[in-house]
Amino acid sequence: MAPPWPYPRLIGHRGGGTLAPENTLAGLRLARRYGYTGVEFDVMLSGDGTPVLIHDDTLERTTDGHGRVVDRSDAELARLDAGSWHGPAYAGEPLPTFAQAGELCRVLGLWANVEIKPAPGHEAETGRRAALLARELWQGADLAPLLSSFSPVALAAAAQAAPQLPRGLLCGPVPDTWHADVQRLGCFSLHCDFRHVTPRLVDEAARRGVPLVCYTVNDPDEARRLLGLGVAAVITDRLDLLAPHGL
């Protein structure tokens, strides 16, 4: 039997997927308008140690800023435009803090898969700060956020800081040691690239009681196949094609 999964089965990637600038409040609002109740986004530390929403170590791809996120102060990051790259409709969209995103998720009724995305050399501190703030932001919520990361160091630090929050181990290709890694880190779930999912992996995860989450699934037929196979949830960039009422 598949392990229990108390969270949404469809999750918006980086907020609004490709339909809105990634890792922004606008993306979270768009996900809710499409009927989603679960989102995924990335959290990294600013130069002041504040958790902010961004995927890359550097600012160039998704903002009008330059350089490394970890080298920029909160004041510098707050002045950036994180929306114009996506289109003129989002010009001036700010780069949000994790606190702003968490508060909006609570208001909108969105559950969150928070990916801890540390800059090199900041793995433990990012895991610790993200976990502590997540615990504070979702205090009293019916569903706590799930913290995921590719970094074992960040996950271990998150576990020490907020052991009550569930965690997920991220990978691309799934290593043969995946279950030992999940156990060692005290993780609840395994998150992997959907292209590496096989019936054998789904069966093994179910047998071991580990929910399996897949990214990034943009084809409705593929999403149906994976969910029918027993995958716990899929993360998508195409919120319009995989809208909850249409899948």
Q: Which residues are catalytic?
A: 13, 55
Beta strands in 117-157 (DSSP E): 146-149
Look up residue 217 and give its DSSP letter.
-
3-state secondary structure of 75: helix
Contacts 24+ apart (CB under 8 A), 141-144: 141/106, 143/6, 143/7, 143/111
Reading the block at residue 149, the tokens are: 């990361």
In the block, residue with structure tokens 């179910």:
206
Round to whole Å and give the CA distance between 59 and 77.
9
